[in-house]
Structures are given as C-alpha cells and as structure tokens.
Structure 1
Amino acid sequence: MCKFLTHESALRDAEPRRGTSAFVNAIRCFNRPPTTMVHGVKILSNVVPQAQAEILTEDALTFLAALHRTFESTRQNLLVARDVAQRRYDSGVAFDFPPETAHVRADPTWHCAPPAPGLEDRRVEITGPTDRKMVVNALNSGAKTFMADFEDSNSPTFASMITGQVNLRDAIRRQIDFEVGGKAYKLVATPAVLIVRPRGWHLDETRVAIDNSPVSASIFDFALYFFHNAHELVKRGYGPYFYLPKMEHYLEARLWNDIFLFAQSYIGLPHNTIRATVLIETLPAAFQMDEILFELRNHSSGLNCGRWDYIFSAIKKRRADRGTVFPDRKDVTMTVPFMDAYVRLLIQTCHKRKVAAMGGMSAQIPIKNDPKANEIAMEKVRADKLREVTAGHDGTWIAHPLIHNIARKVFDEHMLGPNQYHVRREDVRVAAADLTNANVPGKITEDGVRSNVSVALAYSTAWLGGNGCIPVNHLMEDAATAEIARVQLWQWVKYAARMNNGQPITVPFVDHIIDELAPTIKSTVPGIKEEHLRITTNYLKGQIRQQWPSDFLTSDLMPFLTMADGVELRWQPSFL
C-alpha cells in the first residue's frame, strides 16, 4: 500500500454541499497535494485517498518511475523529430515512403503475431470514455470488443483518469455492477473484450512529476492499466490489449515495442503477450504502415483507419500548401481520392502481414423522436459499413450501443468468417501522389463556416468542463472532429478562401460568427460554464490569427484542467 501525506481528517469532516457530489467535496477539502513515498515521484493534484490507495500504489508508481526514467529521453527526441519533419514539409519537401526502409516494405516473408485470444473476430468495436456507466453499457452492447478511451473522447481531469482506471480494474474482475436512480448496471455473462487507448505521445500528465518533470501521459495511462491488470487479464483467458494513437513515425512504434518488452519483463509476463492496434491517423504514418507493423510485429494486432484525425493531420501537416484548402468538412468523405487511397493501402498492408485492418467511426448517432431523420442517419451508417466490409476491412467502430445491430448485420452478411485476412487486395497500387491528392469536390459555404465554429466552441467548452464527447446536430463530436473544425477555420482565413457566394473568409468575418454563435452554445451543451465559454471563444479567435495552427487543442487547453486540479502551472504554454 502506498503511503501518502494526506488530509484524511479534512475528508472525514467535510460537510456535503448542496448539488455537489461527495467526491467533488472531498477534492475541495484538500488544501495541498499528497506526496508519495516513492523517490522522485510527486502527485501534484488533489485526489481522493481511496483512488490513491487503489491505483496510485507504491509499487505502481515505482513501475511508472522506471518507465519514465528509461524511456522519457527517447520520447522527447521523437517529439523534436516531429518538429524537424514539419519544418521540412513547410519548406516544400514532398511526403514519400522512407527510402531507408524499402527492404521492409518489399520483403513478403515477415508477418505479425497471430490474433490473441478474443481478437480473432473484431467485426464490431464500440468506443467511448471510461466513466462507469459507459464501461458497463459498452461491455454489454453486443460488440466484439470495447475500446476504453483515455484519449479523444475523454476530458483528462485527474479525477477522470484515476476513476477510469478504477472502473476498468473493476470491470476486468467483474466487480463493476452498481445501481443509480433505481436502475441496475450489471455485466452480462460474456462482455466485449477490453482494449484500452492511452493518450498520445505529445501529451504530458501534468499532475504527476517524476524527478521534477511531467510524466508522459501515454506512459502514465499504459503503466497503471498494465501494472494492475495484466496478470488478471491473462488469468481470465485474454491479455493486455491496446490501441495506440497519433504516431507519426515508425520509431515511435519502436518506442512502444520497447516499452512493452520492458513492462512484460518487469512484472514477469511472457514476452509477446501484449497486443496493440495502431491507429493510422496522421499523414506521415500513412507512408510507414509496413514499418509500424514491423516494429510491433510480435505485439501487433493490426491497424485502424482513424479517419477524423487523419483528415485533421492531412490539413495540419500540409499547412504551408495553399493547394490543399478543403471544402466544408461534410464533403471530405471516405470516398475522396486521398482518403480512398489511404483505406486501400491500409487493408492491403494489414492483410499482407496477416493482421486486422479495422475500419473507422461513423459520426451519426440515433435521433430520438424523429423517425424519418433517424432512418436517414442510420442509412448513412449502413452505407459506410457496407463500404468498409466490401473493401476488405475486418471490423468497424461504433460510438453508440443502438448502432451495434446495424453494423453487425452488414458485417455478418458480407464477412462470413471471423475476418478477411484472405482478401489480399493485390490489385491495389498506391503511390505517394495518391495519398496527397488534394482533389476534394465540394464548396466552402457559410453553413460550413458556422458548423465549424459551433463544433469547435461547443466541444472545447465541454472539454474544459470534463466532457470529452458530445452530440452536436445528431453527430458525435470528439477531439478529432473538433480539430478538423479548428484547422479548417485557420486554413480558410490563412489562404483567404472564398465561400460559394464569393465572399472571402476573413478574420473579422469569423470573429463575427464566433460572437454570434457563442451565446447559443449554452443550449447545445447544457451546464457549461460562462468562464469556459469565454476561454474557448478567445482561444478560437486567437487560432485563426496564428501563422500556423497549434498542434493540438488538447495540449493548448490542458493548463486549464491542470489549474482546476489545483496544480501550479510549472509548464505554462506561451499562449496563456
């Protein structure tokens, strides 16, 4: 048991405040953060002692510190390499397949690990954050797997990160059943197989310091989940399975593989027990699919088309190219040339290496009280899933349990076996120019501008309030879709794009729309705070004035969550 210097008496004596949970009151009662007994490790945020005792144990923090001290310098070097690569792209260097790894792509003899238990058939995967109700509903949804998300659909308050770990631990041990409002939440006999997505390499966990530096959010999420659950998962017939987000280079996959080897040795788990699916959601990664699989080959369970982040990356990485100005977000579909090429190459690459080629997320969600509108939305889901399964995908993503039956029916009709690894797609020939083809039919409209402003403001404001995925106009929006909205607004202003009515998109024009729509966000996202809306309004106005857009809005806004968690801003970004 980890020893903490905490104000337990303050917790015992705290009086509940009207309309506020005991959990929140407990946090408020602490006036200084706990200090751990693990050398060099400090928990900087105010958290509940029970969560500390159960998750932030001395042994777990010792493991976390070992990972940090072994791998943090490599992570930092890889992040510097991202910046160097971006400057090369800005100077006009073309995207291409790496010449130094041509032999890896050309060699047909190597394959990845066979599917681990529970990952042979992944025809429908449901995704969502790690709150307790979501975890139970997702595991009970009928989907083959559940990707529990610490990343894009999650607002990383420290409380949510720690309680999310508690929820996953309890789900694995089948101790998650609970009742609220007279409704019982209880796991079914055969729940979905659990896969966990940690945060990306670019993010720091600012509430935990090791040797006076913030720990990697990726390592933090991975370490706590793996340490507490890996042996238990294996005992129950499965294993520690992960989704790895936002990588930009095969060396970033090598870092993950090295961490897997270290972690398995550390706790005495056989090597190659871990399995990881990599989301191909950055433009540079699309040119290195073989290499990413090769680096992770003994731990690999395939690749996924992270479509929304991929569109975001396609704009951001080619930010200096005025020839890549895209039309309204709704027109950048999976059938436009550069997206179609990306899909075909991913399926071919995965099946050549005998691993899963997973499809992406349809943004539509069920529409209550409007059967006609709901049927139109669900038909879009059917068409999207039909496109995926006939292209050769081995599974697809859904965001809502009520969409499971639609996706499942399409895949059951067209994928008779557990997967489609036999669909080799040897007809596919994808060149570098195909992946960077900026020919996207469509127009920029005022409705498109307004939609982007609304989504960027609504999501960012909700995120600051602790909500990482929200419905807007019957679409599920998360960090990835909000990022598209943000960088499109920047791109349109930067290159003086014109709408279909001939009007140029200027800073004053976008400012006017932001000011007009900001007051309406309160009805879109009930319960938001005026302070948060003011922050995101100013942030969005600042973004359209930048020479280049920020890499990630989550990185930009994280200091506000850090401050809300009671942590002094020691790593304050310049925009604040």
Structure 2
Amino acid sequence: MSGSVNIEVSPPPSGLEAEYETLFTTDSLLFLHELISTFDEEVNQCLWLRVAKKANLELSGHLPGFLEDTIHIRSDPTWRVLPVPPRLQRRHVDIGDLAPCNSQCFVKALNSPAQGIQVDFDDGNCPTYYNQIKGIHNVVKAVHNQFPDVPHISQAPVLMLRPRAWNMVEHNMMVEGKEAPGPLFDFGLLMFHCGKRLFENESGPFFYLSKIESFMEARLWNKIFVWTQQKLGLPIGSIKATVLIENILAAFEMEEILYELRDHSAGLNCGVWDYSASVVNKFGHRQAFLLPDRRKYVNIDTTFLRSYMDLLIQTCHRRGALATGGMSAFLLPQDPLSESHRTVLATVTRQKLIEIKAGVDGFMVYDLNLIEPMQTLFKLHTEGDNQLHQLRNDVTVTPEDLLSVPLGGITLDGLKYNIAVGVLFINAWLSGEGVFFYRGCVEDSATADISRSQVWQWIRHHPQLEDDSRVVSRQLVTDLMKEVMVELSSLCHSLRETQRLLTAADMFLEMVLKRDFPEFITTYLNEDHTFLSSQSTRQAAALDKHGHHSNL
C-alpha cells in the first residue's frame, strides 16, 4: 500500500489466491497497519524486558520470588475478574493443539461433542505462510457458517483462538519496514474478520495467550484488547483471554497477570512441558537445576509441578477466574476391546483425575475419542458447570516449592527418546506440520522444547547414565543419534524424506551443542535459513485431497 501507510504483504501462496483476497482487503490491511504500528514498540520493550530480567538473574545469581512491588494486589481480597460469559462457564473437555489449516481435522472437531476447541496457531501449528492463511481463512469460514454440515457457530464447540507467542515474527508482512510480530498478524486478522460476528453470537471472541512471562506482558495484551474493541465498535470486556502459565517466572506473577486482564480474563491454564522447559531456559546452566529424565521422574506428582498447579487453581478461584489443566497427548488405540486401549484409557483417567480432584474447571485432550470418557469422568467427580467454589484454602506455596527440581537420574531410553522427539519435530516443521505422532502420543513444540532442553542441559553437566557408567557428552549424543536415525530412517518412504530427516538431525545437533541455550525451538526454526528457503518449495506443492497442506 502506498502513501503514509507503509505495509507490504507477500503474494499469495500457490492455491490460496481466493483465501488471500478474502483476508487481505484494503480495510483489513489498514487495520493491521494501525494495530501493528501502534504496539510494535511495546512488543519490543516486552522482549527486551525478558532479556534484562534473565541477565539480572544471571549477574546476581538470585532466584525469582513473589514480587514486593505488587504485594498490594495480592493482599487485597476484594478484586475479582469479570464473570466469564455463559459459553465459557462449562468447558470440561476441550480439543487441544488443533491447527485449523488442517480442514478435515477442523471440521471433525466442529462436529465433535467437545465443549471447546483450542484453535492453535502456536504449539501445534507450523506457521508457514500457507498454513497461516489457510488456518485463519478456515476460522473465518467456521465463524460465518460457510462449512457445510457443521453446527452454527453458536452451537459448535466454542473457539479458543491461540495466536503465535511474542517470540514469533511473520516474515510475509512488513509494517513500516519491519517484519510484523506474529501474534499481532494472527490476532488482527482474526479480530477484524471474526470479532463482531463471534460477539453477536455470544461465542467469543475468546483467546489463549501463550508463553507470557510477566504481568507487564499481560498489561500489553490488555491495552491491545481495549484498543481493538474500540476500533471495531465492541464493548470493553468483549474479548476474553486464557493465559497459559508455561513459564517459571510467570508462576510468581499469576495474581498480577489476572489483575492486569481482569476485564478480559477467562482464567489461567497449566502447560507442564513448556513450563518444565522454561526452568532449563532460565536456570539450566546451574547444576542445582539439573532436570532428570522427564519420562521417569517429571510428572504432576513432583513438588514443583504439583505446587504450580495447586497455586494456579487457588489463585484463579480466589479471583473468580477459571483454572484449566493441561492436554493429554495420548492416542487411544482403535480396538476398544484391546489391552492397549484399556491401558491408555486407564492412564489418561488416572492423570486427569488428579487434575479434577485438585480443582480444575476443565482440560484438553488431543484424541477426539477421549472426549466423551473424560466428560463422563468430570460428571462422576464434580457437580455443576465448574469448580470455582473449590477455593483451595489448604494450599500454601513457597518460592522454594516452585523451584524444587525433582530428584532422579538420566536413563539411556530417556536420552534416546528426547533425541528422537527433537529430530522428528524439526522434521515435521520442515514438512510444514506442527505435530507428529510417536509411540502412541502426539508431540508438538512443547514436548520438542523440553526434549532438546534436556539434551542440551545433560551435555552441559555430563551426568552419568543410570544404565551404565557412561556420562552424557557430545560424543555420546552423536553416537546415539546414529542409533536413533536407524530407527527413524526406516519410517521414510522416499529419498526426499530421508534427506529431510538427515537435515533435521543436523539441526537438532547444532541446537543442543550451542554454547548458549536457544530460548525457543520455534524461534530457532522460524529464523533458520533452512526453514525459510524450504517454504517456497512447500507452497508450490500440490494440495492433498482434503484441501490441506501435503505432508511431503
């Protein structure tokens, strides 16, 4: 666009010309330009504040605690968030990690008995230009009832829209000569095309906010919400947002985060693997924070994760906000009579019962076949729409509780599993996918982040394996990579797939051997030349029969 409005958008990806024209109208581009240029500098300030806070912890050697400057907010018993709208009051089971660019999965979810859908542009989505345009356009179609044989938006599962996190940029849009912040690109298009329609149907607009690290970031989102509502003629408080507390520093500012968003809050959410990875991110180079094998020793029963969940529930319910649990990544085997089906169902039931008894108001599953069993579980163990009455006055959590890394060692199987998950996630990204399936579970950027975090940390501190006398080192990881690649290569069906997998393995090794810890796997991949250069070939690839991006 010319004149004083400086905004440039890349041409449409092959096959999405009509969707592109629908999304990028003159009015929507003017709106995006104003939104992004208004808040761009404050987004930068939040990112620099993260760097400054981390540097301060490094230089001082201190550990985080509850903030002294905001004690007046925590000690004031009177404030509450605004009551959540009716459609959010009963959300026992949502579908998680659903990338809406996958039209077939999105339509299935809209027809499912789930109470909500986490419409995911973040952890479960690979943000190629193709995927962002296809995904946002699919949301617009759902909101405007343009999918055949799908319930009206007021009757379908409620859409919980998750834009990208602050660390992500949109390479295909330049505003005033700078790449656009990914979350503002996603949020702006979704609000411009869907906000009013969702509000009129009492079905939104509702958002998930990922990877928030401080109440200052929540304050910025609140300003963005107020500005957007005024621009689009919506009442203040129309937008509701659930903040994912998936960063160790944010755990010390949960009440302040709710307070900043009190007119726009739908509550807080637990994200166990991102949260665990953030411990390595902030303190992983310190020997005292060596995180043991996650598959054997890191679970909700450990003090640091149980304390975090209990504190989140207590904080939310004290302030009238909903507290939601994490996502079950298990896939239910098809045969309901099989032993494996019974085992998986029992495992998920046991895990989710811990969350229900702790007081959560809902949680997520990935597999649609788990929706009804988990809704039944909620009915058996709770009464009413939610558990806001469970105030959890029994809970007292100290900074030491939140920072108590579980005891335990490193197993050979755990190390190889982390290597495999890291490589397979990068491989998925290089093929334009945000999730993949491995050993009966769905894996996404959260599990990839904890996997590569642990490998990086174990190389740094070279602990001994439980299985034998070997210590974790660069050489051991490189040797084990060869073993893992034999298994993974057997899954490849073409030379092209094999070459992509080898590229992913090289990138994974590069990441875990870096002197300084790359903060997010997604930032590393999104800025990496391999990912950028491969986008053009993917965009030119043919669409598959379901109308979403080809796996190759």
Letter aligned with residue 116 of structure 1: P
Q: Is 1:271 the counterpart of 2:241 in the alignment? A: no
Is contact 2:410–2:464 with CA below 8 Å preserved after alignment? yes
CA distance in 2, matches of 1:126, 1:169: 19
Match of 1:120 in 2: 89
CA distance in 1, matches of 2:381, 2:373: 13
Letter aligned with residue 440 of structure 2: H
Q: Which 10-residue stretch deviates more, 190-199 or 538-547?
A: 538-547
Q: How far off is 1:136 after superposition? A: 1.3
Q: How far off is 1:142 after superposition? A: 0.7
Q: 1:162 to 1:101 in 2, by over 3 A?
A: same
Is contact 1:465–1:529 with CA below 8 Å preserved after alignment? no
Q: 1:400 to 1:291 in 2, by over 3 A?
A: same
CA distance in 2, matches of 1:544, 1:41: 37
Q: 1:451 to 1:257 in 2, by over 3 A?
A: same
Is contact 1:46–1:566 with CA below 8 Å preserved after alignment? no
Of the candidates 92, 108, 124, which is equivalent to residue 153 of structure 1? Answer: 124
CA distance in 2, matches of 1:472, 1:38: 50
CA distance in 2, matches of 1:332, 1:512: 26
Question: What 5-or-longer segments of structure 1 have no aligned partner?
Answer: 1-34, 178-184, 568-576
Q: How far off is 1:481 after superposition? A: 0.1
Q: 1:139 to 1:562 in 2, by over 3 A?
A: same
CA distance in 2, matches of 1:475, 1:525: 19
Match of 2:488 in 1: 521
Q: How far off is 1:526 after superposition? A: 6.3
Match of 1:175 in 2: 146
Q: Which 10-residue stretch deviates more, 129-138 or 529-538?
A: 529-538
Higher relative contact order (CA 8 A, sep 6+): 2
Is contact 1:319–1:548 with CA below 8 Å preserved after alignment? no
Question: TM-score, normalized by length of structure 1?
Answer: 0.88
Q: 1:459 to 1:50 in 2, by over 3 A?
A: same
Q: 1:174 to 1:523 in 2, by over 3 A?
A: farther
Q: How far off is 1:241 after superposition? A: 0.3
Deviations, residues 279-300 of structure 1 (Å, cap 9, x unaligned): 0000000000000000000000
Q: Which 10-residue stretch deviates more, 518-527 or 41-50?
A: 518-527
CA distance in 2, matches of 1:285, 1:525: 40
Within 5 A, what are the aligned runs for 1:493-572? 493-500=459-466, 501-524=468-491, 529-558=497-526, 559=528, 560-566=530-536
Of the candidates 401, 406, 431, which is equivalent to residue 465 of structure 1? Answer: 431
Q: How far off is 1:530 after superposition? A: 3.6
- Partner SS, residue 99 of structure 1: coil
Question: TM-score, normalized by length of structure 2?
Answer: 0.92
Q: How far off is 1:45 after superposition? A: 5.0
Letter aligned with residue 489 of structure 1: V
Letter aligned with residue 109 of structure 1: T
Of the candidates 46, 50, 56, which is equivalent to residue 18 of structure 2? Answer: 50
Q: How far off is 1:171 after superposition? A: 0.8
Q: How far off is 1:98 after superposition? A: 1.2
Letter aligned with residue 400 of structure 1: D
Is contact 2:426–2:508 with CA below 8 Å preserved after alignment? no
CA distance in 2, matches of 1:245, 1:458: 23
Deviations, residues 107-149 of structure 1 (Å, cap 9, x unaligned): 1100001011310111111121112112111122211111100
Is contact 1:45–1:158 with CA below 8 Å preserved after alignment? no
Of the candidates 225, 230, 233, which is equivalent to residue 260 of structure 1? Answer: 225
Deviations, residues 49-108 of structure 1 (Å, cap 9, x unaligned): 212211111111111111111111111111111111112223311111111111111111
Q: Is 1:76 the counterpart of 2:41 in the alignment? A: no
Q: How far off is 1:326 after superposition? A: 1.8
Match of 1:324 in 2: 289
Of the candidates 99, 102, 124, which is equivalent to residue 68 of structure 2? Answer: 99
Q: How far off is 1:209 after superposition? A: 0.7
CA distance in 1, matches of 2:266, 2:45: 27
Match of 1:298 in 2: 263
Q: Is 1:491 the counterpart of 2:460 in the alignment? A: no
Q: Is 1:348 the counterpart of 2:318 in the alignment? A: no
Match of 1:365 in 2: 331
CA distance in 2, matches of 1:227, 1:531: 41
Q: Which 10-residue stretch deviates more, 144-153 or 185-194?
A: 185-194
Match of 1:181 in 2: none
Is contact 2:330–2:367 with CA below 8 Å preserved after alignment? no
Letter aligned with residue 100 of structure 1: D
Deviations, residues 324-363 of structure 1 (Å, cap 9, x unaligned): 1122121210110100000010000000000100011122
- Partner SS, residue 242 of structure 1: strand
Is contact 2:430–2:534 with CA below 8 Å preserved after alignment? no
Q: How far off is 1:312 after superposition? A: 1.0
Q: How far off is 1:566 after superposition? A: 4.3
Letter aligned with residue 261 of structure 2: L
Match of 1:41 in 2: 7
Is contact 1:207–1:214 with CA below 8 Å preserved after alignment? yes
Q: 1:256 to 1:446 in 2, by over 3 A?
A: same
Is contact 2:492–2:498 with CA below 8 Å preserved after alignment? no
CA distance in 2, matches of 1:373, 1:89: 46
Q: Which 10-residue stretch deviates more, 521-530 or 151-160?
A: 521-530
Deviations, residues 3-44 of structure 1 (Å, cap 9, x unaligned): xxxxxxxxxxxxxxxxxxxxxxxxxxxxxxxx7899311113
- Partner SS, residue 343 of structure 1: helix
CA distance in 1, matches of 2:158, 2:490: 37
- Partner SS, residue 351 of structure 1: helix
Q: 1:299 to 1:541 in 2, by over 3 A?
A: same
Match of 2:201 in 1: 236
Within 5 A, what are the aligned runs for 1:361-510? 361-368=327-334, 371-438=338-405, 440-500=406-466, 501-510=468-477
CA distance in 2, matches of 1:36, 1:563: 28
Q: How far off is 1:544 after superposition? A: 2.5
Q: How far off is 1:512 after superposition? A: 1.1
Q: How far off is 1:427 after superposition? A: 1.1
- Partner SS, residue 357 of structure 2: helix
Match of 2:548 in 1: none
- Partner SS, residue 69 of structure 2: helix
Q: How far off is 1:371 after superposition? A: 1.6
Match of 2:305 in 1: 339
CA distance in 2, matches of 1:526, 1:270: 54
Deviations, residues 300-341 of structure 1 (Å, cap 9, x unaligned): 010000111111112211122111112212121011010000
Q: How far off is 1:509 after superposition? A: 0.7
Match of 2:31 in 1: 63
Q: How far off is 1:556 after superposition? A: 1.2
CA distance in 1, matches of 2:490, 2:480: 17
CA distance in 1, matches of 2:261, 2:202: 22
